[in-house]
Amino acid sequence: MPRASRALQCVAAAIAILVVPTAACAFVSRTPGAPLPGEEVGGRGQKCDRRPTGMWCEDGLRCLQGWCYGKGVEPPDSYLFTPEASSNWGRIEDTIFEGIDLKPGDVVADVGAGPGFYLKRVAKLVHPGGKVYGTEIVKDMVPMIRARAAELDAEGVPHAPIEGRFVKSPRETSLDDLGPNTLSVVMFVNSVQFSPGKSREVNYLKRFCRLLKPGGRLVVHVDWVYDSTGAGEEVTDLARRAGFEVPPRSVPLPDFLPERTLWEPCPGCERVWITKGYTLIFRKACGADGKAKR
């Protein structure tokens, strides 16, 4: 296949990986055990096989950024493709949650929750009295979200209820039925990619502003800024227009993260430089109708 055509194919295939670029690796390192009997694994230069038990490659290959590397298919020589990037994800997650400072009784929505990377932690933090919603546009992920509560039950850990909701189309919240002033926190962690200046993005965020309680918080975190991600200033402008207080509170990411790193969307695709991301926390300033207060 010509390189240009392969690049387009790989970029399309990498969209799911873009959603949680670093967490994809962490999912490997944090998942104990091995593939279950009958589970397939990824081959050289192929996508890691994503299963409830983890993301897997054939023996002798490593799952890095969602792809199987090794045996002649080598990853870029950059931070993102090192073992440290996978092992450090837990430290980044700690920084995010220290900044959010969840309390018992909080009602939290994790938007674009994937298979529920953070839901168990959230459910423990907001217990008792709270609730957790995990929304996801990939339908196969929703049962994984719902399974997180059963995992906590099996571990004997007290937790708030976890509800998984399927998002039928982009820029749908799947939470509008909750009514205004319901949520304490809305989390976008390595999930939705915002397009700068677009009115549809503003209207989307307005719906979440309406759902948040007075003083509720919108949390936007990205590990790395890609061309399609939106820089912090651009996201801040969208949030301001949607009825959130600016400037937001910025939570510094750990110093061990480099200011930029080389990224490859898939083996053989064009490599690009990406820059260190951000964690921004916005307070609700709109009314129950979603309009900015004057």
Domains and CATH numbers, the chain: 3-85 (no CATH), 89-283 (3.40.50.150)
- Dihedral, CA of residue 290, residue 174, residue 142 and residue 11, to nearest 10: -80
What is the spatial distance between Cα 64 and Cα 272, in angstroms, rounded to a whole number? 16
Angle in degrees, CA 99, 203, 175, rounded to 5? 65
- E strands along 209-288, which residues? 212-225, 249-250, 260-263, 272-283
> What tokens does 132 get?
């957790």
Please state, for a pLDDT cut of 70, what percent of the chain lies above it: 80
Q: pLDDT tens-digit profile of 21-73? A: 333 333 332 233 454 544 556 788 888 866 555 667 888 888 888 889 999 99
Please state, for a pLDDT cut of 90, what percent of the chain lies above it: 63
The 10 Å CB-count burial string (b at 16+, else e) for 86-112 is bebbeebbebbbebbebeeebbbbbbb
Choose between 19 and 155: higher pLDDT.
155
